[in-house]
């Protein structure tokens, strides 16, 4: 199953809602893994080591760093950007769909934007 890492600016209500509705989905936050205030490259590096797709609301900087990693041939399990206008319910449904309907590795090097 797909595993997620929610970056520091990702919606707390979405993380809590996903956990409440679908406790089988593996999502951790940067705060829970000791990456509070870590810069984007450090978050992406940790996610690559742990084979976790990063979920973010940060379209401004995180996407650029993810694309740099991919262009350099470095591991980047995937980045999902959930637009701030996307409702919490829609974000939860989209992340659940990704978690249960895809295999690890299919998102490698990809940046996707929600909604699907």
Q: What is the pLDDT of residue 76?
A: 97
Q: How far apart are CA 42 and CA 113, in angstroms?
A: 21
- Give the domain range for residue 85: 3-114
Mean pLDDT of the chain: 95
Residue 9 has pLDDT above 90, yes or no: no
pLDDT at 29 over 90: yes
Between the CA of residue 73 and those of 1, 63, 69, 70, 77, what are the distances in Å? 24, 16, 6, 5, 12
- Structurally, how many domains does the chain consist of? 1
CATH number, position 108: 3.40.50
């Amino acid at each position: 199953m797909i595993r997620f890492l929610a970056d520091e600016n990702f919606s707390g209500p979405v993380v809590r809602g996903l956990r409440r509705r679908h406790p089988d989905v593996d999502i951790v936050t940067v705060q829970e893994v000791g990456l509070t205030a870590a810069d984007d490259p450090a978050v992406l590096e940790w996610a690559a080591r742990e084979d976790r797709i990063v979920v973010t609301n940060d379209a401004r900087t995180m996407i650029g760093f993810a694309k740099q990693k991919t262009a350099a041939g470095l591991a980047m399990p995937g980045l999902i950007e959930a637009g701030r206008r996307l409702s919490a319910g829609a974000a939860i449904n989209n992340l659940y769909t990704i978690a249960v309907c895809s295999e690890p590795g299919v998102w490698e090097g990809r940046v996707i934007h929600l909604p699907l």
